[in-house]
Structure formats: structure tokens, C-alpha cells
Homo-oligomer: A and B are copies of this chain.
């Protein structure tokens, strides 16, 4: 849970609420309650945002507030293709001291999402869980592959599903082919793998199957920040709601996540996620169906 400043070819937003956990929680709260949040924020994180989250059934017992420090801050500028960006500022602030504690009230969680963070901290969360969840999903990034690979490999052995983008899957395995990369990653621990390709959609793998969901073709992508986290939150929220981790159900969860992400990018920050209704989401899922489904008799 953090602040972002974002520049895109379409405009500029200074210091808006962002952070993986914020996007993921908003998206998941569409489907399941409670969403039990673990994060760290500074004195500057707005009370209105916390109230809005609480109203949606996002429980904040695991969110630590530091009184004399600022929240994490990231500033970035997107290129015209919106698939690449430059980081202009990264102020760790409260994140330097983050020691995630799983509250007792969270111990029943069946669906655990580990946001992109230092692998050591992801591991510490897993180690605190007294009951084995139905599904542990982890996100990560190239930075940890370059600076904390041994720890990252330990976490990989303890999770069920890894969520990375195409460049990260390639960096993790030194394989250019995503199919080959997927096979190698599943040898490292996870039974499932999602490779996000931004505007080019997402692939879901298990040992025997592969499923592909496109990104929704939009007239304008306004701000891609948080799209991947919104995707993950929608995916996890739908799985939690339906309480099934079958491959067929994961396919549907990926469509749901893609639909949520397609809303996220239509406005700056999490604005759009707060505006849409269940009816809007259902309508977009119907459009996904038209976009991808065909008569199967050839």
C-alpha cells in the first residue's frame, strides 16, 4: 500500500494511492469477504482510503502504520507502447522496516497471495501460517532474481502458483521460449504458473495443460499501473469465492482477472476499480466470451 506518481502519454498524476496490495485487495473484494490485508504504511497514507477499503470488507488488522515515516513512493513514466516504463523515483520509506506479521485472525486463510517483495519476507509470511492454505500464489520481479536468487528459490519451493511477466519468466530460466521456461519453473516448485504479457494477455500452465486469455482490446489504455495486481486480485478473489483450484476454474478466474484489469487501466490509479459495479463486470466478461469463444465443430 503506497503512493505512485505516474506519467503516461495521456496525462500525469501526482501522488495517488497505489501499491500492489491496494489494487489486489480492491479487485478481490468484488468476489469475497473478508480480504485480509498485510502491509505497512506511513503517517501520510489517507484515512479516507482506509475507510473506503474497510467498507468493501478489506480487513486491515495486518496493516502496520508507522507514525514518523512516509509511505512507500514510486514514480514512473510510461512509453508510448504502454508496455514499458522508466522508474524515475523509488523511495522505500516505511518499506525499509517491513516485517510482515500474520495476525491470529488471518490464520484460517485458504487463499494466500504474496505480493512482489523481498523473497525473505515472503518466506517469513509462509512460515507463520499454522494451517496449509489451499493455494499460495507469489508474485516477484527481476530485481529479486538479480539480488536474492537463493531466497527466491526457497520461496518457489513453498508456493503453488508463480505469477510473473514474460521477461521475468525468461530471466528466471534463461529460456527464451515461454513453453520451455514454464516447464523449468514448474520444476522449481510451483504446480501452476501464470505468465503475464501485458497488452498481449496471459498464459496459465500446469504440468499438462496451457490456457491463454487475451487482454481486452481497448480504445485507450490510460494508465497500466496496477493492472497486473488487479489481475491477480480478481483471479484470487474469484478462486476464493468459488473455492476450487481445478484447472477449469482457474481458466475462469483468469478471465475474471483480465476483465478486472481491463477496467483498471481505463483511468489513473484505482479510480475505475472504485466506480464499477458487478453489472459492469458481468458485461465485460460477456465481451471476453465474444472475443475468445468459437463454435467448436470444424
Give residues in A with beta carbon < 8 Å to B.
Answer: 80-81, 176-180, 197, 200-201, 203, 209-212, 214, 217-221, 248, 251-252, 255-256, 282, 285, 289-296, 298
CA distance A248 to B217 in the complex (A): 19
Instruction: Tell me, rounded to whole Å, the shortest Cβ–Cβ distance linking A116 to chain B.
Output: 24
The closest CB in chain B to the CB of A80 belongs to B176
Q: Is the CB of A209 within 8 A of B285?
A: no
Copies of chain A in the complex: 2
List 18 additional contacts besides A197-B200, A201-B201, A289-B296; criterion CB under 8 Å. Answer: A80-B176, A177-B219, A178-B217, A179-B219, A180-B219, A180-B220, A200-B200, A210-B217, A210-B291, A211-B290, A211-B294, A212-B214, A214-B214, A248-B295, A251-B294, A252-B294, A282-B298, A292-B292
Q: Is the CB of A293 within 8 A of B291?
A: no
Q: Is the CB of B256 within 8 A of A285?
A: no
Instruction: Tell me, rounded to whole Å, the shortest Cβ–Cβ distance linking A163 to chain B.
Output: 17
Leading 9 A-B pairs by shortest Cβ distance: A251-B294, A200-B200, A212-B214, A179-B219, A179-B217, A212-B291, A292-B292, A289-B296, A252-B294
Which residues from B are CB-within-8-Å of A285?
298
**Can you offer 17 A-B residue contacts whose CB atoms are under 8 A?**
A80-B176, A177-B220, A178-B217, A179-B219, A180-B219, A200-B201, A201-B201, A210-B217, A212-B214, A212-B217, A212-B291, A212-B292, A251-B295, A256-B298, A285-B298, A293-B293, A293-B296
Which residues from B are CB-within-8-Å of A212?
214, 217, 291-292
Which residues from B are CB-within-8-Å of A178?
217
Q: Is the CB of A217 within 8 A of B200?
A: no
The closest CB in chain B to the CB of A211 belongs to B291
CA distance A285 to B180 in the complex (A): 21
Q: Is the CB of A294 within 8 A of B248?
A: yes
CA distance A219 to B290 in the complex (A): 29
CA distance A203 to B251 in the complex (A): 21
Q: Is the CB of A255 within 8 A of B217?
A: no
Q: Is the CB of B298 within 8 A of A252?
A: yes
